[in-house]
Structure 1
């Protein structure tokens, strides 16, 4: 049987969703402190960020959240992730950030930005990866621009498990495995002033990079203590 690209992505997405659900069921997550997760703090929609290579347990981090949209790329892997997102009961927004003017159009960067802005204004929270495209663990300004335009807070999160395979690829991805111990950490909210200029946004991006690295390091230390 031959499948088109869309059918293949849907089949792969269903399989990936089943695997992620299995990992979540068989992972013993460290109990989260009450009131730490963004949707427990207030009803205000938010922007959630993690590193691209550490996003595999995002559904576990969002357990209990409602009205969530997740940005996925236009590539085949983005179509796979979109299927996972929709099977989890969330909304997929297709598009991705770009640095060159030529790629801004082909990656649907501007329409995706407007769609995300409207989602936030209508009460839907967003989940994005923080990295500059193809530059691992260096935060870009896309989420910061969204926060500036909407007044919504940015929350950073780390979702890690002791059972995993760490890859030596561009985003230093971790593949979560079942039957491990897990930990999800959330940061304090970060607000961006509407009057923030490019310099201020650049400093915020540096702070996000530092905080995300620290959150992941802390989550791994907490798992190591539980051995």
Structure 2
């Protein structure tokens, strides 16, 4: 059933995604990225699609520029805030998959399964949408089992950033900072394995 929005919300939906995507582009062009991979010689986005990505909610913004225009399918809630995010990321070349890994999980996972079968990378914030931070929830492993795929885990860490006092300690990279993306590839679709791999990815991303 289509969502209905108030006039004020419709105005925000017309303006905010344009402004937000412009700001992300301006910030992204100043960032320098490097990849640290284990195992394997190349990062996950250089592997042939389809695939399942798992990462922590805190590095969403840090990844937005690096993963742009790759038609990565991203699971986004069906709330009003989710609508703002969906319209923003679509302007950056992502595919917004509506649903949730919790409340309406079956819908979200089925839509991601469809995107996977169409040949896309599918990305889930393993601890989203409400935490607790850096504790993997079942959604990622459920998708991996649904499509019979191992998981590609990563974490993107800026060397200089503002950290919000939110549940996820959201990271906003400062202009001209260096972002290190730590990759742990080919992780079995089991929750303890995904949790361990994401923890390792964080450590990799913080290497000097």
Q: Same fold (TM over 0.5)?
A: yes
- TM-score w.r.t. length of structure 1: 0.78
**Structure 1 or 2: larger helix share?**
1
Structure 1, unaligned runs of 5 or more: 99-103, 193-203, 223-227
SS for the counterpart of 2:175 is: coil
- Residue 10 of structure 1 deviates from its aligned partner by 4.0
Q: Select the residue among 111, 122, 129 that pairs with 2:107.
A: 111
Matched, 1:207 2:203: no
Matched, 1:82 2:82: no
SS for the counterpart of 1:57 is: helix
- TM-score w.r.t. length of structure 2: 0.84
Q: Select the residue among 17, 22, 45 that pairs with 1:13.
A: 17
Higher alpha-carbon Rg: 1
Conservation of the 8 A alpha-carbon contact between 1:165 and 1:176? yes
Conservation of the 8 A alpha-carbon contact between 1:29 and 1:183? yes
Conservation of the 8 A alpha-carbon contact between 2:61 and 2:172? yes
Q: Which residue of 1 aligns with 2:202?
A: 216
Q: Select the residue among 88, 95, 98 that pairs with 1:94.
A: 98
Q: Which residue of 2 aligns with 1:152?
A: 149
Distance 1:144 1:10, change over 3 A: farther
Q: Select the residue among 31, 35, 42 that pairs with 1:36.
A: 42
- Residue 141 of structure 1 deviates from its aligned partner by 1.0
* Number of aligned residue pairs: 200
Q: Select the residue among 93, 100, 118 that pairs with 1:122.
A: 118
Distance 1:165 1:124, change over 3 A: same
Mapped partners of 1:32, 1:218: distance in 2? 7
Mapped partners of 1:44, 1:191: distance in 2? 17
Mapped partners of 1:127, 1:3: distance in 2? 32
Mapped partners of 2:182, 2:15: distance in 1? 31
CA RMSD, Structure 1 to Structure 2 (Å)? 2.3
Q: Select the residue among 55, 59, 68 that pairs with 1:54.
A: 59
Mapped partners of 1:159, 1:134: distance in 2? 18
Structure 2, unaligned runs of 5 or more: 1-5
Distance 1:145 1:152, change over 3 A: same
Conservation of the 8 A alpha-carbon contact between 1:9 and 1:77? no
